[in-house]
Amino acid sequence: MNTVFLISMLQGLLGTVVLSALTFVFGGLAGFALALARISPLKPLRVGAQLYTQIVQGVPLLVLMGLCYFGPILAGYSAVPPLVAATMAMTFFASSYLGEMWYGALISVAKAQWEAAECLGLSRWQRMTRVVLPQALRIAIPPTVGFMVIIVKNTSVSSLVVGYSELTYNAKVINNATFQPFLYFGLSGLLYFLICYPLSLKARSMERKLNVANR
């Protein structure tokens, strides 16, 4: 295998890791805000968060990529860098699913827990941070770690629209130059596996440790 091509594959791997990390950070922050909005006493916040989730989940990620990349150009603004466009689209995607996941974890905490905390004279914020969130976190961590696998694999969609230099994109470029698809796409698959498999193992391990299924 050509050393230059191998280095290019490793650079693509770095691009995948960077995009995955940015997606999880920004998507996680937005998803947490959505989860809190879904349990808000204010109806407009609840309805808005639910509408956002339904719209984003109903649009393919490939379309989101195209809108984030070509949208600013059609609106008369300068083109955004591929990493920015890819991060925006992936953030929309991740936030809608993480928000729904964490909302489910929040409402799975028994109502009696809220009522007991209220009886202690705690404010809504104190009830949330001291009573509900610690219990919801125990429920939400395993599926959240599992969802990181989906994030990593879906970064490959960015190669189809925005031309971001990640693992799949670099494998495609090298294949066009070498006509060795089995070698370089096989290598990209192996590198994805080396990232995703430990995450899958970690999710299963945490689920057993936290005993989520039989809490």
Q: What is the mean pLDDT of the chain?
A: 89
- Tokens representing 123? 């404010």
Report DSSP letters for 201-213, one per residue.
HHHHHHHHHHTGG
Q: Note the pLDDT of residue 213.
A: 45
Q: Which pLDDT score, from 0 to 100, does residue 3 have? A: 86
> Is the pLDDT reported for residue 43 higher than 80?
yes
pLDDT, mean of residues 1-29: 92
Q: What is the tens place of the pLDDT at every residue in 157-208?
A: 998 888 898 999 999 999 988 888 899 999 999 999 999 999 888 888 877 7
For 62-100, give one letter per residue: b (16+ CB within 10 A) or e: eebbbbbbeebeeeeeeebebbbbbbbbbbbbbbbbbbb
Compute the chain's Rg from CA coordinates: 20
The overall pTM is greater than 0.85: yes
- In contact, 115 and 77? CB cutoff 8 Å: no
Query: What is d(CA 84, CA 105) in angstroms, rounded to the nearest whole number?
Result: 30
Phi, psi of 50, rounded to the nearest 5 degrees: -70, -40
- Fold of the 3-214 domain: MetI-like fold (1.10.3720)
